[in-house]
Amino acid sequence: MTQKLKYERPFIKKMNTGLMNKFGTQNEATAVIDIDGVAIKGLVTEYSSPLFVLSEKQIRRNYRAALRAFNTRYPKVQFAWSYKTNYLNAVCNIFHQEGSWAEVVSGFEYRKALNNGVAGEHIIFNGPQKTTEDLLLAIQNNSLIHIDHFDELYALISLCEETGKKPRVAVRVNMDTGVYPIWDRFGFNYENGEAWSAISKIVASGKMLLVGLHCHIGTFMLSTAAYGVAAAKMSELAIRCKTTLKNPIEYLDLGGGFPSTNTLKGAYLPGVDTVPSVDDFAEVITTTLLEAGFKHEELPLLILENGRVLIDDAGYLLGSVIANKRLSDGRRSVIVDFGVNTLFTSLWYDHKISPAQEASQHTDNVVLYGPLCMNIDMLRESVNLPALEPGDHLVVHKVGAYNITQWMQFITMRPAVVLIDEQRQPHLIRKAETLEYLEMPEVLPEYLKGVK
């Protein structure tokens, strides 16, 4: 008997004679069948679908490359892992193992960092909300408290009086860096003198140690020049602290905001071709600091709180095709088993999506929908994919940042997360949620029990 031919659904595709669409459509026909040498099919079989997969090798590679970009240019550099980007303990501990401090923005993140064994003085406490309890804990542990507003400043002064302790603090500064809108909702403004006023109050109070200055000028920043402006303004403040207030500044924390190579929705060229590299940012920041007028031995420690750029491309989301469906206007759509609640970043990126099994080069333009019974659940409005069968797998790329913290339990449960170690061994680092887990915090009043 002769070998039968491989089957593929028959389809015809209209040749385009419409207007030029300069955006074109990305062709994603090339199959990706493994991650770090571990077969996707095997991962899905063992851990079910959908499934987040993180590559430890890539995380460490990103961290080391980024650190090298800075410490080959500047003598004193410290990274602090941005917990909100991805606070799975396994992930945090990889960064801590590499030497990273912790940067947290809430009480629970703070406690997570402590539980991960981070020394109190290596935890940076940012953010507009820190409860009295949080602040007391941070003071006790000698952590770095970054003050966001005057109410917090005054609250801290009273706590210092009550406890008799002298916490180490920094002032968060916002400023015009030529990138708009200005993130002026966080911290004290540089241009209108508010930042200087806060600094002066802290020093004059004599109740706290002003050890640092902090800024975080935006997110997914595509301009390196803005960091040059920020570094220059921060340096000016630091030098003024020393000369005018006789309070030398130990560190400048320039925050995060470096972009990953994802393609933003609405962007014309893909992220990989347009996003500045960490080296580009490092060059601008360190050159500015080195030329700002510090004596060499008085150069402040440079702290960076990068998240996204260190982990986005180390994360993958594996999923499966549920169904093919033709829409009323003739377009093909594919329904998959992960929705916008799981892949939160699909709201602002056009994620690259690849088939996870060999397929023909004949592709068709499709709309990609998630499984939610909600109209908003659309992952890609237009993507070229080969014919897919129910049960076929897909890989979404560069999902390591913000998904595993912003995902929602909505209609479907949050999936499991697997880490592939440097020896290509997969480890389950977060179990898939279950109904039992979901209902654990629920309390059912007695009179509503046993309702038929």
Partner 1 sequence: MKLKTNIATSDNGFIFNPATGDSYTSNPIAAAILTMMKAGKTDADIKLQLLDIYEVESKALERDWEDWILQLKDANLLEAR
Partner 2 sequence: MASVTDTPLVIGVTGLNAIENPGPGLSVIRSLREGFPNVRIIGLAYESLEPGIYLHNLVDKTYLIPYPSAGSDALLQRLQHIQAIEGMDIIIPNFDAELQNFIKISPELQKAGIRTVLPTHKQLEACSKPNLAAFGKQYGFSVPKTVSISTVDELQVAADELNYPLVVKGKFYEAEVTYTAYQAQNAFYRLSAKWGTPIIVQQFVKGTEINVAGLGDGKGNTLSIIPMRKLYITDKGKAWAGITIADDKLLDIAQQFTAATKWHGGFELELMQDKAGELFIMEINPRFPAWIYLTAAAGQNQPVALAKMALGEQVEPLTDYQVGKMFIRYALDHIADVSEFQHFSAFGELGP
Q: Which does 273 bind (CB under 5 to 8 A by kind): partner 1, partner 2, none?
A: partner 2
Nearest to 302 by CA among 7, 72, 33: 72
For 192, residues 6+ apart whose C-beta sits below 8 A from its C-beta are none
- Report if residue 9 touches partner 1, rule: CB under 8 A: yes
- Report if residue 387 touches partner 1, rule: CB under 8 A: yes
- Report if residue 267 touches partner 2, rule: CB under 8 A: yes
Sole binder of partner 1 in the list 326, 376, 391, 438 (CB under 8 A): 326
Sign of the Cα torsion 338, 341, 343, 349 reads positive
CA distance linking residue 363 with residue 353, whole number of Å: 13
For 79, residues 6+ apart whose C-beta sits below 8 A from its C-beta are 63, 66, 67, 95, 99, 100, 101, 303, 304, 305, 306
CA distance linking residue 208 with residue 166, whole number of Å: 5
Output the smallest distance, CB 389 to partner 1, in A.
Answer: 8
- Report if residue 348 touches partner 1, rule: CB under 8 A: no
Stretch 179-218: interaction string toward partner 2, x if CB under 8 A? -x--------------------------------------
Q: For partner 1, which is the closer residue by CB, 324 or 341?
A: 324
Task: Say if residues 295 and 244 touch (Cβ distance below 8 Å).
Answer: no
DSSP H or E segment with residue 284: helix 278-290
- Report if residue 17 touches partner 2, rule: CB under 8 A: yes
130, HSE (Cβ side, Cα atoms, 13 Å)? 30
Sign of the Cα torsion 275, 398, 61, 356 reads negative
- Report if residue 23 touches partner 2, rule: CB under 8 A: yes
Of residues 302 through 361, those in contact with partner 2 by CB under 8 A are none
Degrees, nearest 5: CA angle 195-137-141:
85
Sole binder of partner 1 in the list 18, 164, 181, 330 (CB under 8 A): 330
Strands 393-397 and 353-355: antiparallel
Stretch 355-374: interaction string toward partner 1, x if CB under 8 A? -----x-x------------
Q: Segment contacting partner 1 (CB under 8 A): 11-19, 24-32, 103-111, 146-154?
A: 11-19
Output the smallest distance, CB 9 to partner 1, in A.
Answer: 5
- Report if residue 425 touches partner 2, rule: CB under 8 A: no
Q: Which does 24 bind (CB under 5 to 8 A by kind): partner 1, partner 2, none?
A: partner 2
Sole binder of partner 2 in the list 8, 16, 75, 128 (CB under 8 A): 16
**Residues at the interface with partner 2 (CB under 8 A):** 15-17, 20, 22-27, 180, 266-270, 272-274
